[in-house]
Amino acid sequence: MYRSGVMMAWNVFKFCTALRGLGSIMILLVLGVVGVSYYAVVITNYGPALAAGGVDTLQALAVLISFHCLLVMLLWSYFSVVFTDPGSVPSSWRPTMDEERGDADPLTASEFQSDTESRGIRYCRKCNQLKPPRCHHCSICGRCVLKMDHHCVWVVNCVGALNYKYFLLFLLYTFLETSLVALSLLPHFIAFFSDGEIPGTPGTLATTFLAFVLNLAFALSVLGFLIMHISMVAANTTTIEAYEKKATPKWRYDLGRKRNFEQVFGMDKRYWFIPSYSEEDLRRMPALQGLEYPSKPDLSPQEF
C-alpha cells in the first residue's frame, strides 16, 4: 500500500515535470502558426496584391493593416501572460479580522481547522504558508497562486490574479486574428479546389491551404473558451471556482457585472483592451489579487 502511494506521487511529479517541458514546445507551436499565417497572408497573397492597383490594392491594404495591428496586440498579450507572475502570496500577508472570526471562504470550508477561532484561516501544507481567499496551489508550478484560474501549457504559466486580464486579451485577439486570416484566405481556399488555373508554386499553395485550416480550427476552438471566460468574468469567478462552487447557493464575490468586469480589467477604460494597468488600478491591486474580501455592494466602484 505504501509503495503504491509512493509510486503514485512519483508519477504525478513526472507528469507535472513533463507539462512544464511541454509548455516550451507550445510557445514554438504558437510562433509557428503565426509564421505560417504571416507567410500565407503577407508574403504569398496580399503583399504582392498591393501592386495590382484599383480595388485589389485597397482590399490588400485593409487586410494587411488589420492583420498587423491584431498581430501586434496578440503577441503583446501573449508574452504578457507568459512573463507576468500570476500572483504569489506575500510573505507578510495575514488574514483579516473577518476571516479570523470564521468568515470562511465558501469554496474551501472543508479545509479549515475545526477550531472555531481559526476555521476561516487556510493553510497550504505543500508551501507551508497561509492561503488568502481564492488562492490555490498549482502542482505544476509548485506554489500557491493568487486567484488561480488554471495552469495553461500554451503560455508555460499559471493564469491568476495578475495576468488573467492578459490571458483574456490573448484569447480575444487570437480569435480576431485567426478569423481575419481564415476569411481573407477563404477565396484562395475555394480556388484551391476549383478547376481553374491558380497562380503560385505548389509550396505557396500548400502553405495557403495549411494556414487556412489552422486558423479556422483555432478560431472555432478559441471562440468557445472566450465565451466561457466572458461568462466567468461577469460572475466574478474562475475556472476552479466555477467547478467548486456548485453547492454554494450565493456567490459572495459577485459584485454585479460592472464591478466584476472592473476587478479584472481595471477602472480606466483606456487600458481595457491593452495588456497593462493604469497607476490608479495598480494601487487597487490587493483587491484585484484576491488578498481582500470584496467590498459591500453599496460601496462606490472606486473602493473595490
Structural domains counted in the chain:
1
Quick check: is 256 in a domain?
Answer: no
Q: How far apart are CA 174 and CA 161, in angstroms?
A: 21
Residues of the domain holding 185: 2-86+164-240
User: What does the alpha-carbon distance between residue 6 and residue 11 come to, in Å, rounded to a whole number?
Assistant: 9
Q: What is the pLDDT of residue 220?
A: 95
> What does the buried/exposed string (b/e) look like for 156-187 if buried means 16 or more CB atoms within 10 Å of the residue's CB?
bbbbbbbbbbbbbbbbbbbbbbbbbbbebbee
Residue 28 lies in a domain: yes
What is the set of active-site residues? 152
Q: Could you tell me if residue 98 is inside a domain?
A: no
Does 91 map to a domain? no
CA angle 149, 150, 155 (to 5 degrees): 115
Q: What is the pLDDT along the chain (304 residues), one digit of tens a residue?
A: 434 343 333 444 444 555 556 667 888 899 999 999 999 999 999 999 888 778 889 999 999 999 999 999 999 999 999 999 998 888 777 776 444 344 444 444 433 333 333 445 788 888 888 888 889 999 888 889 999 999 998 898 999 999 999 999 999 999 999 999 999 999 888 887 776 566 677 788 889 999 999 999 999 999 999 999 999 999 999 998 888 765 556 778 888 899 999 989 999 999 999 999 998 888 777 666 656 655 544 333 333 3
**pLDDT on residue 117:** 36
User: Is 171 a domain residue?
Assistant: yes
What type of residue sits at position 137?
H
Q: What letter represents residue 166's amino acid?
A: Y
Considering the domain boundaries, does residue 194 fall inside one?
A: yes
pTM beyond cutoff 0.85? no
Residue 112 forms part of a structural domain:
no
Nine cell digits for residue 193: 479546389
Q: Is residue 13 part of a domain?
A: yes
